[in-house]
Chain A
Amino acid sequence: MTASILSMEAVSLSFKDKRVLDNLTFSIPRGQTFGFLGPSGAGKTTTIKLLTRQLVKDAGRISLLGRPIEKASPADYERIGILSDTSALYERMSIADNLRFYARTRGVSHGRVPYLLERMGLADSGKTLIKNCSKGMRQRAALAAALVHQPELLFLDEPTSGLDPAARAEVHKMLGELKERGTTVFITTHDMAEADAVCDRVAILNDGAIAACDAPDDLKLRYARNRVVIRTRTRGAFEAAKDAAGAALVDELIRAGELVSIHSDEPNLEEVFLEVTGREF
């Protein structure tokens, strides 16, 4: 079994009288991309802040890189990369200078800067000052800064928010490459399609509690409806149950030469979310 690189056990947090995280339990094996899903205000960013020691839990246990988070050393944090919801680069410095600065603070060579600029689609914009960059360019530059030291564990808080579809696809491709290299990624998003595309496992957060946690395909299967959609030549499309009566109906349609197609009716991740939480995004 792969060792867990990050875990939470019965973690709770309250702000004054309001409980914002309630009994969170999950663990992430090394090399996995773990999605933390939920609508705005569900507690995703708060969870990242707990995991990166920006906040302190009220109860429970958090393990980071194999040791209690309270005992994590500065050297441990050198193995982590973080793109937070407020990550910002220096406005009077160029994109490339910002990346070189972060490479220097991390004690790594500048050699990766051109590669990161290329991968983030910023190769032609390296000399552009951050203050002259669009929101999408800033986001990609901040992501590159979080990756400059090749972290083992990467926290990404809504990394594709504000990106156009092409840039979003580029980031997804980058996440795929990180996975191939064995980087563990903890990603928050409210984009279910994104989670489906890049995550090995997802946890669905609702009102501060985990409502479901599994691989996207397993969740879809678990919440799959017990029916198929049948398309016919003259009778249109209709649903049939996955039982003996449904099988008899299909058999009859085949014999009558009516059957055009049969489709399973699995929910997508967004529909699973609605099913699990009973709310909309």
Chain B
Amino acid sequence: MRKLGALLDKDARDLLKNPTMVVAVIMPVALTLFYRFSFRDALAAGESDPAMRLLVDGIFLVIALCMSVGVVGATVLVYGIAEEKEKHTLRTLMLANVSAGQVALAKGLVSLAAILVVAVACFALTGVSWQFFGGFIAFTAVGSAPIILLGLVLGLAARDQMTAGLYSMPILVISLVPLFTTFAPEAEFVAGLTPLGGVCDLLLLMMEGNLVSADALAPVAVTLAWTVAGALAFKLLYRKLAQDN
């Protein structure tokens, strides 16, 4: 535990000193603000139309969730681990009897914390009723699991920060797919199959009051499937990638 504590402390402090990470943390917040400004007409209309208001709130929360998990998760993890590899600090840590598993766990937990902090900030900026806050944070945490697991695998696979840029792109893109279907409903089915598609659907069901219904089964299954897939990928590749390091 003492090693994990030291790693958590170090990673959390580094998050605030690393320009790449700071940008990754600010970007979802800034984009949430941008979308709120862009949707100001719809927001005004929603003042007198509850259905419209619910639709706009749903879009805002999907944007906030996808941005927080996708941008922060992909960047903090993949770049963080790749930088440790590139600058040989990961090897130095492992020679100091710290296991790659402890490094991965610390980075995963710090990423989760960063995602949740950013998600709280984004939620506050959306102006959505606080009655949805608990559910939003819970679904953000659940949706973070597969992204964090995939990010850990790609971070260990990346040779350096340049490769990390390439490897983090699929995570980023796949995380943002549900966000774009708010503008292209015909892609809804595909979006529902992405790692965050399930939790976004569950979030919208919660806002409609239909969370406990048959409609929730498919999104739950998708979310579970991605979490299991991420855990399997991590379990299968972790030992090999850690040894290669």
Measured between alpha carbons, how far is A87 from B5 in the docked complex, in Å?
22
Contact B10 A90 (CB under 8 A): yes
Tell me how far the C-beta of A159 lies from the nearest C-beta in chain B, rounded to whole angstroms: 14
Contact A87 B88 (CB under 8 A): yes
Contact A90 B88 (CB under 8 A): no
Contact B2 A105 (CB under 8 A): yes
Tell me how far the C-beta of A188 lies from the nearest C-beta in chain B, rounded to whole angstroms: 15
Contact A89 B89 (CB under 8 A): yes
Question: What 0/1 pattern do residues 86 to 106 of A give for CB contact below 8 A with B?
Answer: 111111110000000110111
Which residues 12-38 of B sit at the A interface, judged by CB distance below 8 A? Answer: 13-14, 17-18
Contact A87 B17 (CB under 8 A): no
Interface-side segment among B70-78, B95-103, B133-141: B95-103
Contact B91 A107 (CB under 8 A): no
Instruction: Out of B18, B92, B95, name the residue touching A92 (CB < 8 Å).
Output: B18
Which residues 65-86 of A sit at the B interface, judged by CB distance below 8 A? Answer: 74, 77-78, 80, 82, 84, 86
Contact B89 A104 (CB under 8 A): no
Contact A105 B92 (CB under 8 A): no
Question: What 0/1 pattern do residues 103 to 135 of A give for CB contact below 8 A with B?
Answer: 011110000000000000000000000000000
Which residues 237-263 of A sit at the B interface, judged by CB distance below 8 A? Answer: none
Residue A52 at the B interface, CB < 8 A? yes
Contact A84 B95 (CB under 8 A): yes
Instruction: Out of A77, A91, A104, A107, name the residue touching B87 (CB < 8 Å).
Output: A91
Contact A102 B87 (CB under 8 A): no
Contact B10 A101 (CB under 8 A): yes
Residues on B close to A: CB < 8 A? 2-3, 5-7, 9-10, 13-14, 17-18, 87-89, 91-93, 95-99
8 contacts between A and B (CB under 8 A): A52-B95, A54-B95, A87-B95, A88-B89, A90-B10, A90-B14, A105-B98, A142-B92
Residues on A close to B: CB < 8 A? 52, 54, 74, 77-78, 80, 82, 84, 86-93, 101-102, 104-107, 142, 145
